[in-house]
Structures are given as C-alpha cells and as structure tokens.
C-alpha cells in the first residue's frame, strides 16, 4: 500500500465524495493518532496511575487546550467537555438547564436550523412551558440586531448545512443578547473549518461541535463559559463525575466554576480516548490547511460549483452566494433520483431535506433537494467530474 503523507486522505481515486457536511474524510495524521493510542497506550484516562494512563491524560488535556487555543478563548473563562456530537451536546445543556436560575423566560431559535437545535429547543419549551420563537435569518445568514432578546436563550447555528450561510454578525449578536440579559448557545457543527474566523474570540455562553465534520473521528465537544455551570441541574450522571458518593448522595467534581475537573460535568462514564486524541491532530490539520491555502482552495472549488450550477437552466440553486455547501434541485428530475444517477458515476451527494424539514419543506415548500458539500480531500478532478456528469444529466 502507498505510504500516505500526514495531510493526505486515503480515498480511492475513482470515488468522488461530496458529503463532507455530514462527515469529512480523515487525513492520515488523524488515523495515525488513533492507531498510536490503540497500539501503544490503550488505557483509561483520569483514573489510573500507570504510565499508559498518564499519557492518555496528557494527550486528552492537550486536545482540550488546543480547542480553546483554536477558538482563542481563555481556560480561565471557558472549559471543554467531550461528548458524542453536536446534537448530544445541545441536549445535554438544554435538558439540564434550570431556566429560573438562569433568568430565562423565552426560547429563541431561527428558521434555517438543523433539527439538532430545532428539536432540542422544542423539547426545552415542552419541559419548561416557556414560549419558543423562530426568528427569520437574513439572506446573508445574519440575525436582526433589533429583535427583542431580553431574558431569552438563543440557540442558533454559526453556519448552515443547507447552503453554508454564516451568522455574519455573530459577535454583535452575542453582545446584544448579553446586554439584554439573555444567553447564547451556538451550534458550531458546520462552522469549525469554514467559519473559523467568526468563532475566534466569540464569547458565547456555550458552543457545540461535531469533530467528525472537522476531519476527526466521531466525537462531539462542548465549549462552555465556566460560570454557566451554575445554571445546570446535573441529572445525566455516573462514573467519572464525582469526588465522593454516599448512600443517597454525591459530591460532583465540577462543584464550582473554578473546579479543576469542571469538564467532568458532561463526561459521564469512560470516554472515547482515541477519538479525543485524534481531534487534537485534526485541529492541527485544520490550522495547517488554513496556512497552506488548502481551505482557500476548497472555497474556490465552491465558487466554481456555484457558478456552474447557477448557469444550468433547469437547476434551481438555493445559495445566494458561493459556499462549500451548496443545495439545489432540478425542475424536471426528483432529487433522490438525481442522487442515484450521480452515484452511478461514483459521485456521492446527499438528497432530501438534510434534517432541515421545517425550513425547506414547510417554510419554502421545496421538493427534495440535492446537496454538494466539499471537503479538503476534494481535488479539481472531482469538481470537473461532477460538472461533466451534471452537464450531461441536465442536457447541457
């Protein structure tokens, strides 16, 4: 087998994968980090005194530090916990939130949300009886600054999985919501790579990530303001979270915003150590890809696909501007049938509503769509192949 360089992807040459918004492929360095754990120090973290366990702790702590550095946030103010994915993270926060203690009496989300925040805010409204409002995002992805954000918890994405639209005025919105006495929880699932610049120094109350959409193994992360833990009634609980347990009680390790083990508040039971270690490698990979122009190149491919699809008569493109995530439908061919036709040419795209049923089906009333989402493994040849096949299918 060929020796793959650190930043290369192990993709068969005839496979044209365009579903990175769901999960990205993993570069060799990330796979190597996982393998290293399994082959050389496969053991438990945070509980053991032997040297393999110490190495796990060092590497896991390293990933926590790297994520905060990536976001340019201070460990004095924020902490990182690992979880399963963005959906899990949002649910862990919202299902344990004590709204009275947090001073919250309204729940806000937006129209273009993935079911992940969309349904989790619905569940919060059901549990608490608080009203839930759906704000219409501007065409460029921003939120209105003059909306009434008082005593509200705002749960929204930073980048959309439909058309890559970004919350362009994120920093301003965080300031406005905080000034109005509200809280901001961000769905960063699509934002880690292509909206990194927006996330830097963003002082939201909590942010949820999916590492599998950011070149890492399947994993989620919550980045949270330390003093936010005062608003949580911990109910998802078990091993690894307590300093002591008596017959009918326990002492949480995350007993105060200053606790050394504050991250344990969301980390019940043994953690996926190999995946956490891999995430540290993936963050390095993303930073290298920013520096060496690979992310800029991927965005250029997005411009090229945007212009190409915009030029096809029988294609309706949802994007109002270029992005690495593009959604469209053909006027004369069902989206699922088109995805099957593309698959016969080894082109892997998504079809349907991409877990955004409310916006795409109920608000816009659209037929099932096709989504092309680019990743750092994509080459100019992938893009050309897609264009050639799409041109043939659309009769151009």
Ligand X SMILES: Cc1ncc(COP(=O)(O)O)c(C=O)c1O
Binding region for ligand X (CB under 6 A) out of 94-102, 134-142, 185-193, 304-312:
185-193
Which residue number, 63 or 116, has a Cβ lying nearer to ligand X? Answer: 116
What DSSP element (H or E) covers 207?
strand 206-210
Nearest to 306 by CA among 357, 372, 224: 372
Check binding of 192 to ligand X (CB under 6 A). no
Which residue number, 216 or 264, has a Cβ lying nearer to ligand X? Answer: 216
Give me the least distance between CB of 7 and ligand X, in Å please.
23
Counted residue by residue, the chain has a size of 396
Q: Using the rule CB under 6 A, which residue among 187, 267, 281, 284 binds ligand X?
A: 187
Q: Using the rule CB under 6 A, which residue among 85, 109, 319, 373 binds ligand X?
A: 85
Q: Restricting to residues 204-243, name those near ligand X by CB under 6 A.
A: 210
Binding mask 18-57 for ligand X (x = CB under 6 A): ---xx-----------------------------------
Binding region for ligand X (CB under 6 A) out of 83-91, 174-182, 274-282, 329-337:
83-91
CA distance 180 to 9: 46
221, β-bridge pairs:
82, 209
3-state SS class at 183: strand
With CB under 6 A as the rule, give the number of residues binding ligand X.
13
Burial of 293: CB neighbours in 10 Å, binned 0-12, 13-18, 19+: exposed
Q: Using the rule CB under 6 A, which residue among 157, 194, 216, 264 binds ligand X?
A: 157
CA distance 290 to 194: 10
Nearest to 222 by CA among 46, 65, 92, 44: 92
Which residue number, 24 or 161, has a Cβ lying nearer to ligand X? Answer: 161
Check binding of 161 to ligand X (CB under 6 A). yes
Neighbours of 131 (CB within 10 A): 11
Q: Cβ-closest residue to ligand X?
A: 161
CA distance 85 to 221: 7
CA distances from 122 to 43, 116, 128, 388 (A): 39, 10, 10, 43
Q: Using the rule CB under 6 A, which residue among 20, 83, 86, 351 binds ligand X?
A: 86
Check binding of 109 to ligand X (CB under 6 A). no
Give me the least distance between CB of 20 and ligand X, in Å please.
10
* Contact residues for ligand X, defined by CB under 6 A: 21-22, 85-87, 114, 116, 157, 161, 187, 189-190, 210
């Amino acid at each position: 087998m060929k020796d793959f360089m650190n930043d290369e992807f192990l993709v068969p040459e005839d496979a044209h994968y365009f579903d990175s918004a769901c999960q990205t492929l993993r570069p060799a360095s990330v796979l190597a980090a996982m393998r290293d754990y399994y082959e050389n120090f496969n053991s438990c973290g945070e509980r053991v005194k032997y040297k393999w366990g110490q190495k796990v702790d060092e590497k896991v702590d390293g990933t926590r530090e790297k994520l905060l550095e990536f976001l340019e946030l201070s460990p004095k103010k924020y902490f990182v916990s690992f979880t399963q994915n963005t959906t899990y993270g949002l649910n862990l926060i919202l299902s344990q939130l004590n709204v009275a203690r947090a001073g919250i009496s309204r729940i806000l989300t937006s129209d273009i949300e993935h079911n992940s925040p969309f349904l989790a805010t619905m569940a919060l409204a059901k549990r608490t009886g608080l009203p839930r409002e759906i704000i219409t995002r501007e065409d460029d992805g921003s939120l209105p600054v003059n909306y009434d954000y008082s005593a509200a918890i705002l749960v929204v994405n930073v980048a959309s999985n439909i058309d890559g639209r970004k919350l362009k005025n994120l920093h301003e919105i965080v300031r406005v919501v905080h000034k109005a006495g509200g809280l901001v929880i961000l769905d960063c699932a699509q934002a880690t790579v292509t909206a990194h610049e927006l996330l830097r120094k963003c002082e939201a109350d909590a942010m949820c990530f999916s590492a599998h959409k950011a070149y890492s193994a399947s994993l989620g992360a919550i980045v949270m303001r330390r003093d936010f833990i005062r608003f949580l009634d911990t109910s998802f609980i078990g091993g690894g979270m307590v300093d002591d347990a008596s017959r009918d009680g326990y002492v949480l390790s995350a007993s105060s915003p200053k606790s050394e083990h504050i991250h344990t508040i969301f980390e019940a039971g043994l953690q996926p150590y190999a995946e956490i270690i891999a995430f540290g490698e993936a963050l390095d990979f993303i930073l290298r890809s920013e520096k060496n122009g690979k992310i800029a190149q991927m965005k250029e491919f997005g411009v090229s696909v945007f212009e190409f699809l915009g030029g096809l008569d029988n294609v309706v493109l949802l994007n109002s501007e270029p992005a690495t995530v593009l959604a469209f439908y053909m006027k004369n061919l069902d989206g699922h049938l088109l995805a099957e036709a593309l698959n016969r040419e080894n082109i892997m795209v998504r079809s349907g509503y991409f877990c955004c049923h409310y916006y795409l089906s109920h608000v816009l009333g659209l037929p099932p769509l096709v989504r092309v989402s680019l990743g750092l493994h994509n080459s100019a040849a992938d893009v050309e192949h897609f264009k050639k096949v799409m041109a043939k299918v659309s009769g151009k």
